[in-house]
Amino acid sequence: MSFLLSCPHCGPRPVDEFGYRGEVLTRPADDATLRELCDYVYFRDNVAGVQREWWSHRSGCELWFVAERDTRTNEVLRTEVPDTQRGSRQ
C-alpha cells in the first residue's frame, strides 16, 4: 500500500502518515436492539468499490477527515472534513 492521500489540511501525503478508522457508519438509535448494535459494532459492508471512510493525519496535523476511496484500486476520489451539525448523532 503506497498510494497518496490528500489531507484536507496538508495536501497529498504518503498513506503511511495516516491512521485508518474504517467505514463511515451510522450509530444506531438509543433503543437499538442487540442485533442492531452488533451490526454497528462488528459488521462492515466491505464493499468492492467506492467507500466512505475515516482517516486521520496521524503523523501530521492530526486532522480527522472522510475519504472516498475505491477499495479495488485505492484510487481516492475525494477527501473532506465532514460538515457536521453541532451535537449531531451521525
Partner 1 sequence: MSRLPIQPGELLDRDTVVRFSFQGRSIEAFAGDTFGSALYASGRTLLSRSFKYHRPRGILCCRGHCANCMMTVDGTPNVRVCETPVRDGAVVEGQNVIGSLDRDLFSVVDKVGGPFTPVGFYYRTMIRPRRLWPLYERFLRNAAGLGKVPERDPHNRYDVEHREARVLVVGGGRAGREAAAEHAVAGPGVVLVDELPELGGLELPGVEVLAPARAIGVWEGGLVPVEHGNLLLRYRAQHLVVATGTIDQPLVFPGNDLVGVMLPGAVERLVERYAVKPGERAVVIAADDAADRARAALDQAGIEIVSTVRLTDGRTPAVAANGRKGQVRSVTVDGRTVDCDLVVMSGGRQPAYSLLAMAGAKVEYDAARGVLVPAAIPDGISATGSVTGAVGEQAVPAASYTAARSGKCFVCVCEDVTTKDVKRAVAEGFDSIELAKRYTTVTMGPCQGRYCHVQSIRLYAQETGADEAAVGATTARPPWTPVSMGLLAGRHLEPMKRSSLHHRHEESGASLIWAGAWKRPYAYGDVEQEVRAVHEDLGVIDVSTLGKLLVQGPDAAEFLERLYPNRFGDMKPGRIRYGVLTTDAGRIMDDGTVARLAEDSYYVTTTSTGADAVNGWFEWWNAIWGYDVEIANVTGALAAVNVAGPRAREALSALTDAPVSNDAISYLDAKELAVAGVTCLVLRIGFVGELGYELHCPSPAAEHLWDAIVSQGAVPFGLEPQRVLRLEKAHVIVGQDTDSESNLISAGMPWIAKLDKDDWVGKRATQLVQAAGVRECLVGFEMENGKLPAEGGQVVENGRPAGRVTSARRSAVLGKNIGLAWVRSEAAEEGTRIQIRVDGRPEPATVRHGAFYDPEGTRLRS
Residues that bind partner 1 (CB under 8 A): 1-4, 14-15, 19, 21, 27-28, 30-32, 34, 37, 40-42, 54, 56, 58, 62, 64-65, 74, 81-82, 84-90
Output the smallest distance, CB 47 to partner 1, in A.
Answer: 19
* Closest C-alpha to 81, from 43, 49, 54, 44: 54
C-alpha cell at 74: 485505492
Output the smallest distance, CB 56 to partner 1, in A.
Answer: 6
What is the Cβ-side half-sphere exposure of residue 19, based on CA atoms within 13 angstroms? 10
Amino acid at 63: L
Output the smallest distance, CB 46 to partner 1, in A.
Answer: 19
85 Cβ contact partners less than 8 Å away, ≥ 6 residues apart: none
